[in-house]
Amino acid sequence: MPRAPVVHPTAVVDDRARLAPGVEVGPRCTIRGPVELGEGTTLIADVHIHGDTRIGPGGVVYPYACIGFGPQHVKIRHGDPIGAVRIGADAVIREHATVHASMYPDQRTIVGDRVYLMVGAHIGHDCVIGNDVIICNGALLAGHCEIADRAYISGNVSLHQFCRVGRGAMISGGAACNVDIPPYCTAYGFNALSGLNLVGMRRAGLPREEITLARRAYREAFRTRLDRREQIRRLEAFADRCGPARDMLEFLRTTKRGVLIGDGRPKSHTVRWLKRALRPDVWNETMTEVEDDAMA
CA distance 148 to 168: 7
The CATH number corresponding to 6-144 among 2.160.10.10, 3.40.50.300, 2.40.50.140, 3.40.50.150 equals 2.160.10.10
pLDDT at residue 63 in the model:
98
pLDDT at residue 295 in the model:
44
- Amino acid letter for position 198: L
pLDDT at residue 194 in the model:
87
H or E segment to which residue 213 belongs: helix 208-222
Per-residue pLDDT 10s for the chain (296 aa) are 678 999 999 999 999 999 999 999 999 999 999 999 999 999 999 999 999 999 999 999 999 999 999 999 988 998 899 999 999 999 999 999 999 999 999 999 999 999 999 999 999 999 999 999 999 999 999 999 999 999 999 999 999 999 999 999 999 999 999 999 999 999 999 998 988 999 999 999 999 999 999 999 999 998 878 888 999 999 999 999 999 999 999 999 999 998 987 755 555 555 565 556 655 655 455 555 544 444 44
Determine phi and psi for 249, rounding to 5 degrees.
-60, -50
Q: Which residues contact 266 (CB under 8 A, 6 or more apart)?
A: 287, 290, 291, 294
pLDDT at residue 137 in the model:
98
Q: Which residues contact 280 (CB under 8 A, 6 or more apart)?
A: none
Domain boundaries of the chain, sorted by first residue: 6-144
CA distance 96 to 68: 13
H or E segment to which residue 86 belongs: strand 84-87
Reduced to 3 states, what is the DSSP secondary structure of residue 138?
coil
Reduced to 3 states, what is the DSSP secondary structure of residue 104?
coil
CA distance 280 to 90: 56
Q: What is the pTM of this model?
A: 0.86
Give 166-210 pLDDT, tens digit per residue. 999 999 999 999 999 999 999 999 998 988 999 999 999 999 999
Of how many residues is the chain composed?
296
Active site residue ranges? 125-126, 143
State how far Cα 45 lies from the chain centre.
26
CA distance 100 to 179: 22
Determine phi and psi for 36, rounding to 5 degrees.
-125, 125
